[in-house]
Amino acid sequence: MRPEPEADGEIVRAVLAGDRERYAQLVERYRDRYARYAARMLGSADAAEDAVQDAFVRAFDQLSQCKEPDKFVGWFFLILRNRCFAERRRSRTETSLEAAETVAAADRTEGGAETAERRRALQLALMALTPDQREVFVLKHVEGLSYGEIAERLSTSVPSLKMRMHRAYDKLREQLREHT
C-alpha cells in the first residue's frame, strides 16, 4: 500500500519550525506543474526556469506570511504569477520570436513539423496579448481550468474573465491571420 503523500500544510509547518530541507518536497511537488504555466506566459523555457526558481526562493523567504499553510500552492501560484508579470513588464520591448522558437523546438518530435509550426505561430500570437489576456487563455486552454476555477484562483469574476478571454480570441485571430 502506498503511503499517503504528506499534506502541504504539514510540510510548511515543518519548514517554519526549522526543518528547511523539507522544503524540497514542495519544490518537487509543484515545480513542473507550474513550469508549463510560466513557459507559456513568458514564451521561453529558460525564462520559465528563472521565474519558477525565483518564485520558490521568494516563497521560502516569505513562508511565515503564508497564512493558510494548507493552501500553500495557491499562495505560491500568486508569487509566481507576480514574477511572470514583472518579467513581461521588464522585457516588453524584447522580441518574443526567439522565445517562441524555443518553445516550439522542444515539440518537433511529437507531432511533426506542421504541428510545431502551428504551435509556434500560436505562441507568437499569445505573446502579442496583454499579460492578463494571455493568462486567462493559458489557464483555460493550456492548464484546462474552468472559468470558475480561474476566477477563484485570481479572485475575480467569471464575466470579467470571459470579457478578457473574448478579446484574446479576437486578437489571436488577427495575429494568426497577419502572420500565417
Residues that bind another protein (CB under 8 A): 16-21, 23-24, 27-28, 31-32, 35-36, 38-40, 45, 48-49, 52-53, 56-57, 60-61, 63-65, 67, 103-104, 106-107, 110, 115, 118-119, 121-123, 141-142, 144, 147, 162, 165-166, 169-174, 176-177
Distance, CA of 94 to CA of 90 (rounded, Å)? 9
Nearer to another protein, 5 or 173 (CB): 173
Segment (H or E) for 164: helix 158-179
CB-based contacts of 123, cutoff 8 Å, min separation 6: 40, 43, 99, 100, 103, 104
Half-sphere exposure of 87 (CA within 13 A, CB side): 24
Distance, CA of 103 to CA of 116 (rounded, Å)? 9
**Residue from 25, 23, 47, 24 nearest 36 by CA:** 47
Q: How far is the CB of 4 from another protein (least distance, A)?
A: 22
Nearer to another protein, 11 or 104 (CB): 104
Q: How far is the CB of 2 from another protein (least distance, A)?
A: 22
Nearer to another protein, 32 or 93 (CB): 32
Q: How far is the CB of 67 from another protein (least distance, A)?
A: 7
Q: How far is the CB of 82 from another protein (least distance, A)?
A: 17
* Cell of residue 148, nine digits: 470558475
